[in-house]
Amino acid sequence: MEKKEEEIKLKSPIRCIVKLGGAAITCKNDFEKINEDDLITVSSQLREAMIMSKSFSPGPVLEMDWSKRPGISETLSRVDDFAGQQVLHYHNFVVIHGAGSFGHFQASKSGVHKGGLNQPLVKAGFVATRISVTSLNLEIVRALAREGIPSVAMSPFSCGWSTRQRNIVSADVSNVVEALDSGFVPVLHGDAVLDESLGCTILSGDVIISHLAAHLRPQFVVFLTDVSGVYDRPPSEPNAILLREIAVREDGSWSVVKPTFEGTKQVEISVASHDTTGGMVTKISEAALIAKLGIDVYIVKAATKHSLTALSGKLREEIPEDWLGTIIRYVS
């Protein structure tokens, strides 16, 4: 197993870092449109997975978004629901989301990922990208808060995270740790950030997950996406085979251990992807880096019974025969 990086002391260990894939929570062909139904289901599953004691009835959902909502006049009375309520204990979770149909257009049209802040278009694109991704972030924080999850927005740019040649050089996780230690669920996202050599770039949610996993050592990592996992070919093609289990070795190389293929068939990898930072090749490489730390990674379709199973942590004990998804884990 890889040498541990400087480890952060948390009051309680982190149970899970979960990535809400941009393609899963937004409508990918509809500019800046959230997939409301799936986001509600995902939030509800997260709540269920986060509550510690399964035997204890958690009571009613205590909504933590008390803002005005179109068509609803009753938000102000939500405060009264808290009278006499007990403190619930939650597993420590961190949520990171992608951009999907938010931010992608602004970033690619202006070339923010290539840098060059002295160009008016790039600078404007930086501003426009951040407006778009932070507006998505706000809606995700709201959706989680409405499920009673104490979610707090933590934008990487605001946190002072920056890169050099697109590699993270400054990403102090102490703010994230303090939020966790105070009982909150930090919600981060892929963001436009400053880059020491390029001026600016895009820091993808997958790179953020990898960084946080190395420093926070969660028990497991879940990628919620819009297909069932990693396939041997584009999942839209007939006969595409879902790769159930991928083993990562000490040297970072990996191979499919389930299902077993005849001969030495080359596995072609594809998952519908919707980001400016490389799609599935990035995802699998980042997942392998996480797995190398001894942390199991589950890639699963969002808002399904399979995603609830993954989020609950049950896969660490036993993988049900009918579970659909991809497990990426370290083998010594």
Residues that bind its own copies in the complex, under the rule CB under 8 A: 31-32, 62-68, 76, 79, 82, 85-88, 105-106, 109-110, 117-121, 123-128, 130-132, 134-135, 138, 141-142, 145, 150-155, 157-160, 162, 172, 174-175, 178-179, 182-184, 194, 199-200
From the CB of 49, what's the least distance to its own copies, in Å?
Answer: 19
Q: Which residues contact 56 (CB under 8 A, 6 or more apart)?
A: none
Smaller CB distance to its own copies: residue 82 or 261?
Answer: 82
Which residue number, 43 or 106, has a Cβ lying nearer to its own copies? Answer: 106
Query: Shortest Cβ distance from residue 299 to its own copies (Å)?
Result: 28
Nearest to 103 by CA among 132, 67, 142: 132
Structure tokens at 11: 């009051």
What span, in angstroms and rounded, lies between the C-alpha atoms of 135 and 32?
A: 9
CB of 24 to its own copies, least distance (A): 20
CB of 86 to its own copies, least distance (A): 7
**Quick one: 31 or 261, whose CB is closer to its own copies?**
31
- Residue 69: CB minimum distance to its own copies, A: 10
Instruction: Name the token pair of 248.
Output: 């990562």
Nearer to its own copies, 111 or 313 (CB): 111
In the complex, what is the shortest distance from the CB of residue 46 to its own copies, in angstroms, rounded to a whole number?
14
Query: Cβ distance 224 to 300 under 8 Å?
Result: yes
Nearest to 299, CA basis, from 322, 273, 278, 324: 324
Q: For the chain, report the end-to-end CA distance as a whole number of angstroms.
A: 7
The token duo for 80 is: 């009264």
Comparing CB distances to its own copies, the nearer of 48 and 81 is: 81
* Distance in angstroms (rounded) separating the CA atoms of residues 293 and 212: 12
CB nearer its own copies, residue 216 or residue 290: 216
Letter for the amino acid at 81? D
Q: Name the residue among 192, 209, 201, 21 with its Cα closest to residue 100.
A: 21
